[in-house]
Homo-oligomer: A and B are copies of this chain.
Amino acid sequence: MGKRIYNFNAGPAALPLPVLEEIRDNFLDYKGSGMSIIEASHRSKWFDDVINDAVDRTKRLLGLGDNFDVLFIQGGASLQFCMIPMNLTIEDKPVDYINTGTWSTKAIKEAQIQGKDVRVLASSEDKDFYYIPKDFQVNEDASYLHFTSNNTIKGTQWAKFPESGDVPLICDMSSDFMSRPFDANPFGMIYAGAQKNIGPSGSAMVLLRKDMLDRVPDNIPTMLKYSTFAEKNSMFNTPSCFVIYTTQLVLKWLEETIGGLKEMERMNKEKAKVLYDFIDRSDFYRGTAANDSRSLMNVTFRLPDEDLEKRFVDEALKEGMGGLKGHRSLGGCRASIYNATGMEAIKALVEFMAEFEKREG
């Protein structure tokens, strides 16, 4: 094996090394079954234990009550953008959204395509999504209030979730799910593409409060109904077994090696602080998100010009630090520092940034 890089990819992203090693070591013979986990039937005892353990760990890590179903649905967050309005709209009641960037905008668009009565309650589009909106009034007549907890592209994050009274919150938590504890009770649904903090790409995890199932219409396609997944423990059809298996191992690592979400949050805050503090002290690097809206997961910054940014990204890669290019729609630089990217990676990055500034600044 060659040297592993410090991986700052925005997603698919770094996974914990012990998880990768466990997958590798068992890849040809899963627990004495004589086959790979990807060759095992999803109806087998082997896989049943995997998915049930993943569900149980999710509930324990987040302190979820039995009023939540934990579902695995293929298609990523993008398929959820259409399933949410299709399943969870109450007839004649508008659906409310807060727009904090590309992903929120896409979620809104899918509700509009279905002809729903969409209201955008608040938006940070006026400042190109570089902040999280604060002052807005929640409508009590909404079917739900949808927001995106973290914007990977602009590097913003809700520090405190909106309060919505009796209206259930629905949150796309793709890029900061399992990075910190939170109270799930105000949420009707939380969903996350797996490929940031909890696994490889190819599945979304959906936490659905059970009373939301009453809203699911009868006459929609079977594979687009939340009830189909809730009734069959996500196995109406063959699920994405490898993703669920990897997720199970990541959750085990979170619970047993890290010690839970409170500790994970402490580590994530510490990591982000080192990086933001360095950027704030520098005149060469410039953070792009509003200070009070900064993401603990995606640290976005610029250098004095685009040519320097390109060289910065290229030279960092040569020094063993990958994935520092900003989103292709935007340019600039971005360090995604999800759960699996440890403090040693942050320290190596800051050291390189200092050295690069000294040489080029």
Contact = CB atoms under 8 A, between A and B. Distances in A.
A10, A17, A76, A202 — which one has the most chain B CB atoms within 10 A of its CB? A202
Given A7-B39, A15-B39, 4 more contacts: A7-B34, A21-B28, A38-B246, A242-B243
A358 interface: no
Nearest to A238: B201
Given A10-B41, A74-B75, A243-B202, A322 B195 contact: no
Contact of A29 (B2, B38, B201): B2
How large, as a class, is the contact surface on chain A?
35 or more
A203 interface: yes
A7, A76, A203, A240 — which one has the most chain B CB atoms within 10 A of its CB? A240
Interface of A: 1-5, 7, 9-15, 17, 20-21, 23-24, 27-29, 32-36, 38-43, 74-79, 81-82, 86, 106, 109-110, 113-114, 193, 195, 200-203, 219-224, 236-243, 246, 320, 322-323, 328
B4 A38 contact: no
Given A2-B32, A34-B322, A246-B38, A193 B238 contact: yes
A28 B1 contact: yes
Given A12-B39, A20-B28, A202 B81 contact: no
Contact of A201 (B1, B14, B242): B242
A111 to B, nearest CB: 10
A229 B2 CA distance: 35
Contacts of A82: 221-224
B5 A34 contact: yes
Given A12-B241, A238-B201, A222 B28 contact: no
Contacts of A79: 74-75, 223
Nearest to A115: B219
Contacts of A20: 27-28, 36, 39
Given A11-B238, A114-B221, A240-B240, A320 B246 contact: no
Contacts of A32: 2
A217 to B, nearest CB: 11
A81 B224 CA distance: 11
23 contacts: A2-B32, A2-B34, A7-B39, A9-B35, A9-B39, A11-B238, A12-B40, A14-B39, A15-B38, A20-B39, A23-B27, A27-B27, A42-B201, A74-B75, A74-B203, A75-B223, A77-B237, A78-B223, A78-B236, A82-B224, A109-B222, A202-B241, A202-B243
B4 A28 contact: yes
A81 B113 CA distance: 21
B41 A9 contact: yes
A86 B221 CA distance: 10
A311 B6 CA distance: 52
A297 to B, nearest CB: 16
Contacts of A222: 78, 81-82, 106, 109-110, 113
Nearest to A109: B222
Given A41-B323, A241-B202, A14 B35 contact: yes
